[in-house]
Amino acid sequence: MPESTHRFSFEERMSYLKEYGSHCMSFSALQPGMQYFDMPGIGYIAYEQKWGRRAVLSDPVCNEKDQETLIGEFLRMGGPTGFAQISEPVARLLYEKFGFYATQFGIESIIDLKNWDLKGKKKQILRTSLNQAAKKGIYVQENYNENRYNQFSEKWIKTRKVKNREIRFLIRPMNMDFEEGTRKFSAYQGDELIGFIFFDPVYSNGKIISYVPNISRFSQSFRQGIFYTIMIYAMDIFKKEGIEQIHLGLSAFAVSDTNSHYEAGIPKKLVRFLYQHGNKIYSFKGIHFTKSRFRGQVYRTFCSHKGKLPFREIITLFKISNFF
């Protein structure tokens, strides 16, 4: 299958990421196993290939004005293709210019740190979590010398609904070859590690504009509220550093009741069904509830596919992501 004849060096790829990597999954697309369609002077598209089909992850990493050109060349030089976790403007572009249907995949939330606080009835659970943590002597540190992360994560995975493997692609693996710009915050009770969150950088115009909590692990003994406690501590640090936003990332399959003209009806019904009945394989409702407590601005996120019934694309995406 023909591909782009130019391959960016790692330094070149990072220069595009830092200039245009404003999607919450742009950094995650550096994970092992990804392939790239590189276009000099424009940017790149990150994807994986399985069973002869290409699954694109996140928006193209390029200037918004160049998205149509980059996507057009990528589609012209490849085979069957689907797009996962893309923004609504990209989903609309794919429909209007390339004939792709869209299926809402979930929502993403962004917190405006400049104006965020703990006030209000909806945030009572956050305040309660902080008070409970303080009573139990739990404290949070930004720690890069902690050597128990992998051991802790192995125990945590055994408590998940998918117990024998780490979900990937849609969630980047915990251990990345490249970690520049990532932040690591850990919660302790005494010397015991009871939870941690790894934040990935979100870039624009050569600087970090936000962070997204892409990796989180918690002890079963201290599950209640530890995510909230670490998040609030980290958000205070980021705010002091001048960071204006926090991306909370994807709440998968939490979709709106309204349909846009470029959405395919049957796949969206399937997504709604999985949200209601698929919590045996993944905690869709729990993750959505947890993120909703922060009262961020909500944005719809999409998958795009060529036909109205994208069953092959769905199966391919689930396989690449290690759901089975």
Q: What is the pLDDT of residues 99-155, one digit of tens each?
A: 999 999 899 999 999 999 999 988 999 999 999 999 999 999 999 999 999 999 988
Segment 28-55 mean pLDDT: 96
Residue predicted with more confidence, 169 or 318: 169
Q: Has residue 240 got a pLDDT over 80?
A: yes
CATH number of 110-248: 3.40.630.30
Q: 97: number of CA atoms within 13 Å, CB side?
A: 15
Segment 251-275 mean pLDDT: 85
User: What's the pLDDT band for 286 if we cut at 50, 70, 90?
Assistant: confident
What pLDDT, on the 0 to 100 scale, is given for residue 118? Answer: 95
Burial of 230 (0-12, 13-18, 19+ CB in 10 A): buried
- Residue at token pair 């060529």: 306
Angstrom distance (rounded) from CA 275 to CA 17: 32
Q: Has residue 22 got a pLDDT over 60?
A: yes
Q: What is the pLDDT of residues 45-83, one digit of tens each?
A: 999 999 989 999 999 999 999 999 999 999 998 889 999
Lookup: tokens for 152: 């802790």
Percent of the chain at pLDDT exceeding 70: 96
Angstrom distance (rounded) from CA 232 to CA 44: 34
The second-level CATH assignment, the architecture, of 10-107+255-277+300-320 is 3-Layer(aba) Sandwich (3.40)
Q: Has residue 241 got a pLDDT over 50?
A: yes
What pLDDT, on the 0 to 100 scale, is given for residue 2? Answer: 42
What pLDDT, on the 0 to 100 scale, is given for residue 1? Answer: 37
Whole-angstrom CA distances from 21 to 59, 241, 318 are 9, 20, 25
Q: What is the mean pLDDT of the chain?
A: 91
Task: Tell me which amino acid residue 159 is.
Answer: T
What pLDDT, on the 0 to 100 scale, is given for residue 4? Answer: 53
Q: Has residue 224 got a pLDDT over 70?
A: no
Residue extents of the structural domains in the chain? 10-107+255-277+300-320, 110-248
Residue predicted with more confidence, 227 or 160: 227
Domains 10-107+255-277+300-320 and 110-248 share a fold: yes
